[in-house]
Amino acid sequence: MIIAKRALAWLVVLAVVLTFGLGVTSVFATDSGSIDGVSTFDENDKTPSKLNIKGNNFRNCEFLSVKVKSDDFSSIRLVSVCLSWLLNSSEDYGYFIYSFDKSDGLTASDLAQNLEERLSSVKPDAEYSCKGTENAFVRGDYGNSSFNYRSDGYSKYKYVTMKINNIPDDKLVVARFYLKKDGEYRFATYNSTEKACVYSTTDILNIVKPRMELVGHRGAMDVAPQNTFASFEQAAKYGYPFVEADFWVTNTRDFLVLHDDVLNVCGFPQIPVKTLDNESRFNFPVKDGTLYQNYKTQYIPTVEELVSKVSNLNLKLFLHIKDGGISEERLDEVFSIVKKYGMLDKTVFVTSSRRCCKKLSNRSCNRCFLINEPDGKSIDEGFKYCAEHGVQRVMVRFRDGYPTAQNIKKAHKLGLKIGAFDANSVYDTLWLMRHNCDFSMINNWM
């Protein structure tokens, strides 16, 4: 009897082990329902739950066919996901870049045929090593390329991003993520032990949008100077449904769109924005910001110009009131402008000032309370304030682990829409999406 009981116990243990083993194996099974090119994680963000790439024969490659263009500038950002122990134990890892001349009529479809064989017979144009780099910049054939090695909260997986600028229009470009171990290059494919994927961040924009509102912080500030017409136009071009803009009330009671309280982006950090008016702003063109030299001269917009532009671009607006002490009279003028262009229902008024938020409560509008420096106390107090005063939205800086999954759930229980800003990596955005965050304000999508 004792022997039988022991045998039964061992069978139970064996069954548990086998079940766990099968579960671990099935984690990496192909799942046609998963998001192509994106790895997802369990609730603890520690264990990969699926890792699937489109069913083709060149899973370890990425065409740079979707390009971010601005005048003569083209760029793409790649993200590779790989098991952290492989990165840590490898001699090197990074990207091979191959380019193929289109002058002989070669198309992307042609190149896709037997791509692995094509790549095996040619040398890469460039090899970018990412080992041990962080926010480092190097020179390559296509301009500056930045590497960013991240490990935010993921113990099993880490990811490496690379941005390549100035891609020639007459080239078809392919990226290949590699690991170097034991003196050999090993290319990351779905079926190998080096499980990883490579994809462009632009490709998942349409995946995230149906589930979460994406807001271009000061427009598309990573491809054009922030808070300018060019930035808002680029945001519309790249598919942002919302843009955010900041404005100040000047000493002459004008409304000027600028983030800082001084003219940093115009090259005059000693001049306060409040000393300007609608006419004098033309003396200070924007001289700083992403690729400002690629656009015609940009000036600080007025709020009316901003609202008119956003309306014409068919965008929705997060309008950030930088003056916490703005008067009721000035607020009336701003509301008149927003209503004039039929944008009241498409505008969310943002403030971090409770005094300003209270003034907004006297008007029928969408309000968002901003928590700049989050911790457990400030978030709880912010939630309580919003719930008690009928504020519809709360936005938390993505910093120091906030907002947490619990914060998001609590906001929803209180009837609040919750969002984050400064969640600037694809994986931060995906984390927010998976935890049902309502919106995310992004600086560096591209």
The pLDDT tens digits of the residues spanning 110-132 come to: 776 777 777 778 888 878 888 87
| pLDDT classification of 189: cutoffs 50, 70, 90 | very low
pLDDT of residue 4: 53
Tell me the pLDDT band of 207, cut-offs 50, 70 and 90: low
What's the chain look like in SS3?
Answer: CHHHHHHHHHHHHHHHHHHHHHHHHHHCCCCCCCCCCCEEECCCCCCEEEECCCCCCCCCEEECCCCEEECCEEEEEEEEEEEHHHHHHCCEEEEEEEEEECCCCCCHHHHHCCHHHHHHCCCCCEEEECCCCCCEEEEECCEEEEEEEECCCCCCEEEEEEEEECCCCCEEEEEEEEEEECCEEEECCCCCCCCEEEEEHHHHHHHHCCCCEEEECCCCCCCCCCCCHHHHHHHHHCCCCEEEEEEEECCCCCEEECCCCEEHHHCEEEEEHHHCCCCHHHHCCCCCCCCHHHCCCCCCCEHHHHHHHHHHCCCEEEEEECCCCCCHHHHHHHHHHHHHCCCHHHEEEEECCHHHHHHHCCCCCEEEEEECCCCHHHHHHHHHHHHHCCCCEEEEECECCECCHHHHHHHHHCCCEEEEECCCCHHHHHHHHHCCCCEEEECCCC
**Weakest-pLDDT range from 26-35, 275-284, 306-315, 397-406:** 26-35
Most distant CA pair in the chain: distance in Å?
97
Which pLDDT belongs to residue 272? Answer: 97
pLDDT for residue 39: 34
Identity of the residue numbered 44: N
Domains in the chain, please, with CATH? 30-202 (no CATH), 209-442 (3.20.20.190)
> So what's the pLDDT on residue 253?
95
Given a cut of 80, is residue 35 above it in pLDDT? no
Q: What is the pLDDT of residues 224-255, one digit of tens each?
A: 999 999 999 999 988 899 999 999 999 999 99
Mean pLDDT of 153-182: 69
